[in-house]
């Protein structure tokens, strides 16, 4: 069966520090991968998606970047965090093509102080 792992679960970082959140998927090949952010009062927003290794698309301009160094690994990064980067970050995957069910990780609560 397929599983998705996301870590860390919580993170408190000072403004200006770097960020690296990791997500891995097991039990499937060549999935579509996604990073969403859930901010208070704003719902879930798609940040990045990837349809293959090294292929990253950004949905909104921001202080973050994403990379996919391996088929089932998706990384969310920042060189210098802003207060506005605080939120709940969720990784998700779906079968290639993206037309089927999406499955989410347990999320990372990021607080920038």
Partner 1 sequence: KQEVTQIPAALSVPEGENLVLNCSFTDSAIYNLQWFRQDPGKGLTSLLLIQSSQREQTSGRLNASLDKSSGRSTLYIAASQPGDSATYLCAVRVSSGNTGKLIFGQGTTLQVKP
Please count the CA atoms within 13 angstroms of the CA of 85 that sit on its side-chain side.
27
Q: Which one, of 69, 45, 70, 71, lies nearest residue 58 by Cα?
A: 45
Answer for which of 17, 18, 30, 44 binds partner 1 (CB under 8 A) is 44
**Applying CB under 8 A, does 51 fall inside the site for partner 1?**
yes
Contact call for residue 87 and partner 1 (CB under 8 A): no
CA dist., res. 112 & res. 41, Å (int): 18
**Which residues sit at the interface with partner 1, rule CB under 8 A?**
6, 32, 34, 36, 43-46, 49, 51, 57, 59, 90, 92, 94, 96-107, 109
């Amino acid at each position: 069966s397929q599983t998705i792992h996301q870590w860390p679960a919580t993170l408190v970082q000072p403004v200006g520090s770097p960020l690296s959140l990791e997500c891995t998927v097991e039990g499937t090949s060549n999935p579509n991968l996604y990073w969403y952010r859930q901010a208070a009062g704003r719902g879930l927003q798609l940040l990045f998606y990837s349809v293959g290794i090294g292929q990253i698309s950004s949905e909104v301009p921001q202080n973050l970047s994403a990379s996919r160094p391996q088929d089932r690994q998706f990384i969310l990064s920042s060189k210098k965090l802003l207060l506005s980067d605080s939120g709940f970050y969720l990784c998700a995957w779906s079968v290639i093509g993206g037309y089927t069910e999406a499955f989410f990780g347990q999320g990372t609560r990021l607080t920038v102080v």
